[in-house]
């Protein structure tokens, strides 16, 4: 038996061959029986027994087999049992009436039999459906009861029409903390916070559920012990057959963890969005920085390349050539400073910038910086004055880095001060500090930019015309160097067009070095190299020729080679007083060369002082070179005077 689309149960249909086969078999059986009793039956009743076959066929097979049995019985009776025998369609009027009545009777019997059989089957199906429905209802009620009682993560309870609790499940007991006997008959407001009760929230929930059929919300609810949890509550109105309100069903669940997870996810999303915006901003800053670096490097290169080509053409007179050489030197120094600033920022970011403190005269350091910037100030007609307190002169610090701090501040002041302005440099001792101040009458600093003035790559009043060049690194480096000395730097300005003052405070004793002192070369008073044999090793021909020219101008005897292998042969033939070697070279590099030389010296070879002259300018590079065996470390591009002094000092340090 199967369930139909209209909800009725029916037996599966019998196969047509079986249904019609039973009809044929029934007619055949009656035919044989009729033949057996034919001698005892009159011709007036030939069709009587065949009605049995019609009834059986209709009962078993339905309308089709019943009608087939009627037709088949009519044909057999006509052919066999009606005279004239063994022929068709030769009827007397009486026989015609008999045949017609039989066909009518067979059709009626078939219809009645089918109807009775269908009614019986439908009655049986209805009884089976009722039985199954009752069983399903009973099982459903049992499952629902078990579901309600077993739903420990859900509070499921019923209210009457007035909002009083009338049923309570185990999940509600676990979630709310009340036993059934404690809460039955109590209002739903027992689960609300006092503030929510004062706001009429429980009544509002029931009112909306009664009006709209359902009320749902997420909010705080309270347990028996006074603790609160974030709940999802659904109130559904229940109605009787007449449509009247009979009560409410309430389903409540603790979703505190879900709420917390959502908040964490939202926080994570906000942080991710913030990080993405910061990354996009960093990417834009990177692009702007690269464009700015390209501009700042190309500008001096333009002057260097242009003047170099013009000098090579021979079109300049002596005065023009002197100005061209001065411009080339000035722009080359600008490029060197840009590169040094970039390297310093890289060292700052990676924590590799180190100080080499020693007792110094701070006034000499400041005056050296002032003297360096003074030509630029004079060119703009700016008065550059200094007021330095002699009591602040004795100091312990890194002279190179302190001069860099002073130079950055003074050059910035000159850059941003219009022609005819004034820049003042001051040094005072204010125990326990010394205070270096640089003030100007320049363009000033807008108040909204002051908090960012020491950030990297930031310049005030930036504009596309780049009227004030630079990478915006100088003040950032100043701040870091001051902090490495244990001090601080502060900028003040009364606003745009009112000038600015930068104050660096350095503690007299509290010095932070960030690392041990490195060996330092002593400067020789003489820069003359007359009589000194120098071997220069560099794979770059231009660099090699430049060093050779510088040293020969100072009367040195110079031999230059392009590889470490050539240098080893020249060491034996030339017997130099000093070795000047590049580090990065193909094949055998400078480290291997000096290592082998020092190994041979330990076996009896004469000691040859060595200078590392390389483009690698990091602290680790310097330390590695000195540890490898070089006596002095110089970074390209090197000032000719400094190179000459270093070689002179090394050559004269060898015992005669």
Residue pair 109/58 in contact by the 8 Å Cβ criterion: yes
Beta strand extents in 142-266 (DSSP E only): 154-160, 165-168, 214-222, 228-239, 245-254
* 179 and 203 within one domain: yes
* 363 and 490 within one domain: yes
* 241 and 222 within one domain: yes
Residue pair 500/474 in contact by the 8 Å Cβ criterion: no
Residues 6+ apart with CB under 8 A from 608: 571, 576, 577, 578, 579, 597, 601
Within-domain flag for 465: yes
Name the domain boundary from 344, 372, 389: 344
What are the contacts of 8-11 at 24+ separation with CB within 8 A?
Answer: 8/122, 8/125, 8/126, 8/129, 9/125, 9/126, 9/128, 9/129, 9/132, 10/121, 10/125, 11/121, 11/125
* 281 and 173 within one domain: no
- Other beta carbons less than 10 A from residue 531's beta carbon: 10
Residues 6+ apart with CB under 8 A from 509: 396, 432
Within-domain flag for 513: no
Given this model, what pLDDT does residue 205 score? 94
What gap in Å lies between CA 227 and CA 223, rounded to an integer? 5
**What H or E segment, with its residue span, contains residue 638?**
none
Given this model, what pLDDT does residue 597 score? 92
Given this model, what pLDDT does residue 323 score? 82
* 108 and 219 within one domain: no
List pLDDT tens digits, range 328-344. 877 777 677 677 767 76
* 29 and 124 within one domain: yes
* 549 and 410 within one domain: no
List pLDDT tens digits, range 85-102. 666 666 677 777 777 777
Residue pair 648/626 in contact by the 8 Å Cβ criterion: no
Given this model, what pLDDT does residue 309 score? 81
- Other beta carbons less than 10 A from residue 363's beta carbon: 17
Tokens 């005065």 correspond to what residue?
Answer: 319
Beta bridge partners of 239: 245
Residue pair 580/611 in contact by the 8 Å Cβ criterion: yes
CATH number, position 340: 1.10.287.130
Of 218, 205, 202, residue with least CA distance to 254? 218
What gap in Å lies between CA 596 and CA 599, rounded to an integer? 5
Q: In the chain, which residues have pLDDT < 70?
A: 1-12, 41-46, 83-91, 140-153, 285, 288-289, 291-293, 295-297, 299, 334, 337, 341, 344-345, 347, 456-472, 509-528, 619, 653-656
What gap in Å lies between CA 493 and CA 512, rounded to an integer? 29
Within-domain flag for 190: yes
* 485 and 360 within one domain: yes
Structural domain of 565: 533-652
* 377 and 241 within one domain: no
Annotate 488-516 with DSSP letters as a single string.
EEEEE-SSTTS-EEEEEEEESS----SSP
What gap in Å lies between CA 317 and CA 322, rounded to an integer? 9
Given this model, what pLDDT does residue 421 score? 94
Within-domain flag for 434: yes
Given this model, what pLDDT does residue 199 score? 94
Residue pair 436/406 in contact by the 8 Å Cβ criterion: yes
What gap in Å lies between CA 603 and CA 597, rounded to an integer? 10
What gap in Å lies between CA 98 and CA 508, rounded to an integer? 144
Within-domain flag for 267: no
Q: For 164, which DSSP code?
A: B
Peptide bond preceding 157 in cis form (omega within 30 of 0): no
Cα three-residue angle 445-446-452, rounded to 5 degrees: 75
User: How many domains are there within the chain?
Assistant: 5
Within-domain flag for 524: no
* 468 and 446 within one domain: yes
SS3 191: helix
Cα three-residue angle 234-237-239, rounded to 5 degrees: 155
What's the maximum distance between 2 C-alpha atoms anywhere in the chain?
167
The tally of CA atoms less than 13 A away on the side-chain side of residue 651 is 25
What gap in Å lies between CA 226 and CA 220, rounded to an integer? 12
Distances (CA, A) of 275 to 267, 283, 349, 374, 623: 12, 12, 20, 45, 38
| Helix locations, 351-398, DSSP H | 362-379
What pairing do the DSSP bridges indicate for beta strands 610-614 and 578-581? parallel
196: Cα separation from own chain's centroid: 41
* 201 and 108 within one domain: no
Name the domain boundary from 300, 324, 344: 344
* 495 and 385 within one domain: yes
Within-domain flag for 35: yes
Given this model, what pLDDT does residue 364 score? 92
What does the radius of gyration of the chain's CA atoms come to, in whole angstroms?
56
Residues 6+ apart with CB under 8 A from 575: 533, 606
CATH number, position 635: 3.40.50.2300
SS3 214: strand
Given this model, what pLDDT does residue 517 score? 38
Within-domain flag for 418: yes
CATH number, position 359: 3.30.565.10
């Amino acid at each position: 038996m199967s369930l139909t689309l209209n909800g009725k149960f029916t037996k599966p249909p019998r196969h047509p061959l079986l249904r019609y086969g039973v009809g044929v078999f029934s007619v055949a059986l009656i035919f044989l029986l009729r033949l057996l009793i034919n001698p005892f039956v009159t011709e007036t009743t030939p069709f009587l027994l065949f009605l049995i076959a019609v009834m059986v066929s209709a009962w078993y097979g339905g309308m089709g087999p019943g009608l087939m049995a009627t037709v088949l019985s009519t044909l057999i009776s006509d052919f066999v049992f009606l005279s004239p025998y063994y022929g068709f369609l030769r009827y007397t009027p009486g026989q015609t009436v008999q045949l017609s009545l039989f066909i009518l009777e067979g059709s009626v019997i078939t219809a009645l039999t089918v109807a009775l059989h269908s009614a019986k089957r439908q009655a049986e199906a209805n009884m089976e459906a009722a039985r199954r429905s009752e069983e399903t209802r009973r099982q459903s009620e049992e499952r629902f009861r078990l579901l309600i009682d077993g739903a420990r993560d859900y509070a499921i309870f019923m209210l009457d029409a007035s909002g009083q609790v009338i049923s309570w499940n185990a999940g509600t007991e676990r979630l709310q903390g009340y036993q059934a006997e404690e809460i039955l008959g109590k209002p739903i407001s027992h689960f609300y916070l006092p503030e929510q009760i004062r706001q009429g929230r429980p009544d509002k929930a029931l009112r909306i559920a009664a009006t709209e059929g359902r009320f749902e919300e997420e909010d705080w609810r309270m347990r028996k012990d006074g603790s609160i949890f974030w709940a999802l509550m659904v109130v559904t109105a229940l109605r009787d057959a007449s449509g009247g309100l009979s009560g409410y069903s309430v389903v409540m669940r603790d979703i505190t963890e879900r709420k917390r997870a959502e908040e964490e996810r939202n926080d994570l999303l906000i942080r991710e969005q913030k990080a993405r915006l910061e990354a996009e901003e960093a990417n834009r800053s990177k692009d702007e920085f690269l464009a700015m670096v390209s501009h700042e490097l190309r500008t001096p290169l333009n002057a260097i390349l242009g003047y170099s080509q013009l000098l090579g053409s021979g079109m300049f007179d002596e005065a023009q050539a002197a100005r061209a050489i001065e411009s080339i030197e000035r722009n080359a120094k600008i490029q060197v400073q840009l590169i040094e600033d970039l390297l310093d920022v890289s060292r700052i970011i990676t924590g590799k910038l180190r100080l080499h403190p020693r007792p110094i005269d701070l006034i000499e350091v400041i005056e050296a910086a002032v003297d360096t910037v003074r030509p630029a100030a004079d060119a703009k007609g700016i008065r550059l004055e200094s007021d330095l307190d002699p009591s602040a002169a004795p100091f312990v610090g890194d002279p190179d880095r302190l001069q860099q701090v002073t130079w950055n501040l003074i050059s910035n002041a000159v850059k941003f001060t219009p022609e005819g302005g004034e820049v003042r440099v001051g040094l005072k001792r204010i125990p326990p500090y010394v205070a270096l101040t640089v003030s100007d009458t320049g363009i000033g600093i807008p108040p909204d930019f002051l908090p960012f003035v020491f950030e990297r790559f930031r310049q005030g009043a930036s504009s596309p015309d780049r009227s004030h060049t630079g990478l915006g690194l100088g003040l950032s480096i100043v701040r870091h160097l001051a902090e490495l000395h244990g001090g601080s730097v502060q900028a003040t300005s009364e606003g745009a067009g009112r000038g600015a003052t930068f104050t660096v405070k350095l503690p007299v004793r509290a010095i932070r070095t960030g690392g041990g002192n490195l060996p330092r070369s002593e400067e020789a008073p003489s820069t003359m190299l007359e009589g000194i044999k120098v071997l220069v090793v560099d794979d770059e021909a231009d660099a090699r020729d430049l060093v050779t020219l510088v040293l020969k101008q100072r009367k040195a005897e110079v031999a230059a080679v392009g590889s470490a292998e050539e240098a080893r042969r020249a060491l034996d033939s030339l017997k130099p007083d000093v070795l000047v070697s590049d580090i990065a070279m193909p094949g055998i590099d400078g480290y291997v060369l000096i290592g082998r030389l020092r190994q041979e010296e330990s076996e009896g070879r004469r000691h040859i002082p060595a200078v590392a002259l390389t483009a690698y300018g990091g602290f680790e590079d310097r330390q590695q070179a000195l540890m490898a065996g070089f006596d002095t470390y110089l970074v390209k591009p090197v000032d000719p005077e400094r190179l000459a002094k270093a070689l002179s000092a090394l050559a004269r340090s060898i015992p005669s």
